[in-house]
Each structure stands twice: as structure tokens, then as C-alpha cells.
């Protein structure tokens, strides 16, 4: 009898995805991936920098490998992402003299980029993170002061969604961001979504990245967040889930706790409780939630190793460094 995986326990709820590199799908990781997950997100391969390094040069190799693997094994694919302020090639903002391009030129380049990438994977990618992290962390302003914003104002967001919708009218289009459960940031992301809706922009879903920790979010904040985005008519996906054993900000660390980096039984227990809580909330909201994706496979390697603190190991996932389910895994799948 085949061993059950996350995707099987959650088959009546939502697809369970994982962020992967091309290496993951071309290595012995494939057995593990196919056992646990039924959706993939390219961790880096489709970002503008990697996939479109120069104006007339695309590098589809890694993205193709991931999409081909998914097709062969009937996995869903979420595209990530079409427009961001990071991992974006310099050329897109620059004119021939090294100055900044005009709004018209930048939007035309964005259009070419989106048309090319979305069209290539049309019918194979069911959902796109169209714009990533455009809302500022500083509460005095709504939008991040990126080059996208400096050159285009809010129009880069409006146009990115319009281009993506034109390129693939069947793709579900998401706005994706982090710290969306913190009431103050949530309010501003909601404000942006309301503005886009008022402008008839084809935004259809909200991606809650879910880079959480044992300290946040609270159950109330998580529930309210899902509830309030769904109330705008958006489908909700958790797009980049992990639960750090460290607080994202130093000030969130309880005074009694030292700045240690050992994975103590106490920290593992708190993480277990946090995973149990968030999946309980996800299940209770299964009408609103259309996908939950983990950001990396196991604690062996995760993007949180060395980030944001260099030299610090993290243990944020449901599987240990030997690909074995942790206690939190069993607590997430054993529900009635
Ligand atoms: C991260 C990747 O995991 C890393 O490999 C890369 O070095 C930086 O980007 N929010 C996002 C993701 O939307 O694209 C980021 O992925 C993590 C934070």
C-alpha cells in the first residue's frame, strides 16, 4: 500500500504545494516530492532576473524543467512571479545612456516580458503571482518606493495584471505579499486590493506568503486576514509557508529568551503548536482557501538558512534534514 502524503490527507481541502528548483525535480528529491505534494512553485526560476537576464535573452531552461516535470506527473504549477522589486534585471529600468527609461518604455518592456513568459506556459500554469510585495512596510506610504513605482506610479501594478490577463485569460491572477496578517500592513494591502477592484483590474486572488514564526501570526489575526480578503471576492492562497523558530524582528523575541540558534525541544514544541493552529484555521476556511504551498522541501536546506541572519541555521518545515516527518507533520495530518 502506498504511503499517504500531505496532498492525500488534504485532498478534500486544497492542493498542497512546494517551492522547487530545477535541481529538485531532476534529482532523487522527486520521489519525496511526488509522495507529499500535488502542486509546484518555481522558487527562483521564473523571476525576471533569472528568466530574462537581458532584453533579448530569455533563459527558460530551469523553468521548463519544472513545468515539464509537473506535466508528466499531473501536478499543478503556480507561476512566481511576473513583477517584483527584487531579482529584477537592471537593464529593464535603463536606457542606452544608463539613465532611467520613461514610463512608456518601462511598461512596454513589462508587457513584452509578461506576454512572452505567460504565453510560453499557457495552459500549464494555472495561477500567477503577477505582482509581488508592492506594498510598503512603512505605514506612512501605501506603495513601496521601488523603481517600478518611481517610474510608473501605481500603473505598473494595474498594467501587469491587464497584460497577464490578456496573455492567458484562464490563469488565476494573484497579488502576493508578506506580513499580511499584521493588522497595520493588512489594512494597506486591503486598501490596494480595493483600489485595484475599483479600477476593474483583473486581480482574482491574494497570496499570503506565510513566512511566519513561532511568535506570529495569532489565530485571530490569521482568521481575520483570510476573512477580510475573501470578503473582497478574492480567493486566498498561502503561497510560501514556513514557520521560523526565530522571530522576524528582534523585538518580538521574549526578553527571557536568549539569541540562540539551537533547535531545542521547547522551540520545536512551539513550532508544532503553531503549525497545528494555522492548519486548523486553513481547514475551517476551506471554502476560501484554494492552495497551500510550502517554501522548500525539508529542514536540510531552506532559504531561511543564513537569512536574515548570516551563519544561522533554521528548521522551519514539516520534514527534518533526513526528509522524515517531524511531530508537527503528524499533528497537521491527524485531524478528524
Ligand atoms: C527567495 C528564494 O527562496 C531564495 O532562494 C532567493 O535567494 C531569494 O528569494 N518572498 C518571495 C520569494 O516572494 O520569491 C522569496 O524567495 C522569499 C520571500
pLDDT by 10s per residue, the chain, length 336: 678 999 999 999 999 999 999 999 999 999 999 999 999 999 999 999 999 999 999 999 999 999 999 999 999 999 999 999 999 999 999 999 999 999 999 999 999 999 999 999 999 999 999 999 999 999 899 999 999 999 999 999 999 999 999 999 999 999 999 999 999 999 999 999 999 999 999 999 999 999 999 999 999 999 999 999 999 999 999 999 999 999 998 766 665 555 556 899 999 999 999 999 999 999 999 999 999 999 999 999 999 999 998 889 999 999 999 999 999 999 999 997
Residue 44 CB–ligand 1 contact under 6 Å: yes
Q: Residues with catalytic annotation?
A: 240
Residue 299 CB–ligand 1 contact under 6 Å: no
3-class DSSP string for 236-285 = EEEEEEEEECCCCCHHHCCCCCCCCCCCCHHHHHHHHHHHHHHHHHHHHC
Nearest to 297 by CA among 258, 238, 242: 242
Ligand 1 binding pocket mutation candidate from 19, 20, 23, 44 (most atoms within 8 A of CB): 44
Residue 248 CB–ligand 1 contact under 6 Å: no
Q: What is the DSSP letter of 216?
A: B
Residue 132 CB–ligand 1 contact under 6 Å: yes
CA 302 to centroid of ligand 1, rounded, Å: 10
Ligand 1 binding pocket mutation candidate from 22, 176, 295, 301 (most atoms within 8 A of CB): 295
CA 49 to centroid of ligand 1, rounded, Å: 12
CA 241 to centroid of ligand 1, rounded, Å: 12
CA 322, chain centre distance (Å): 24
Amino acid at each position: 500500500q502506498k504511503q499517504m502524503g500531505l496532498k492525500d490527507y488534504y485532498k478534500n481541502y486544497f492542493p498542497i504545494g512546494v517551492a522547487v528548483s530545477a535541481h529538485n525535480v531532476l534529482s532523487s528529491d522527486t520521489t519525496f516530492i511526488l509522495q507529499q505534494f500535488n502542486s509546484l512553485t518555481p522558487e527562483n526560476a521564473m523571476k525576471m532576473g533569472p528568466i530574462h537576464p537581458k532584453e533579448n535573452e530569455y533563459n527558460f531552461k530551469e523553468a521548463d524543467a519544472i513545468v515539464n516535470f509537473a506535466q508528466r506527473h499531473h501536478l499543478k504549477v503556480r507561476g512566481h512571479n511576473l513583477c517584483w522589486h527584487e531579482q529584477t534585471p537592471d537593464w529593464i529600468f535603463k536606457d542606452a545612456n544608463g539613465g532611467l527609461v520613461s514610463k512608456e518604455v518601462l511598461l512596454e518592456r513589462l508587457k513584452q516580458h509578461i506576454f512572452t513568459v505567460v504565453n510560453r506556459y499557457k495552459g500549464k500554469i494555472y495561477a500567477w503571482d503577477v505582482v509581488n510585495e508592492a506594498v510598503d512596510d512603512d505605514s506612512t506610504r501605501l506603495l513601496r518606493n521601488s523603481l517600478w513605482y518611481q517610474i510608473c506610479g501605481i500603473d505598473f501594478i494595474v498594467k501587469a495584471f491587464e497584460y497577464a490577463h490578456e496573455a492567458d485569460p484562464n490563469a488565476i491572477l494573484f497579488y502576493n505579499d508578506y506580513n499580511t496578517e499584521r493588522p497595520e500592513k493588512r489594512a494597506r494591502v486591503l486598501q490596494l486590493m480595493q483600489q485595484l477592484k475599483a479600477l476593474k483590474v483583473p486581480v482574482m486572488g491574494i497570496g499570503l506568503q506565510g513566512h511566519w514564526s513561532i511568535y506570529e501570526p495569532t489565530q485571530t489575526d490569521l482568521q481575520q486576514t483570510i476573512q477580510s480578503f475573501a470578503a473582497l471576492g478574492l480567493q486566498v492562497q498561502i503561497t510560501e509557508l514556513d514557520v521560523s523558530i526565530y522571530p522576524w524582528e528582534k523585538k518580538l523575541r521574549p526578553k527571557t529568551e536568549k539569541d540562540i540558534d539551537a533547535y531545542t525541544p521547547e522551540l520545536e514544541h512551539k513550532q508544532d503548536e503553531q503549525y497545528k493552529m494555522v492548519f486548523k484555521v486553513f481547514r475551517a476556511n476551506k471554502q476560501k482557501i484554494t492552495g497551500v504551498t510550502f517554501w522548500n522541501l525539508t529542514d536540510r536546506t531552506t532559504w531561511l538558512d543564513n537569512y536574515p541572519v548570516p551563519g544561522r541555521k533554521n528548521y522551519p518545515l514539516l520534514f527534518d534534514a533526513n526528509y522524515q516527518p517531524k511531530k508537527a507533520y503528524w499533528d497537521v495530518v491527524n485531524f478528524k
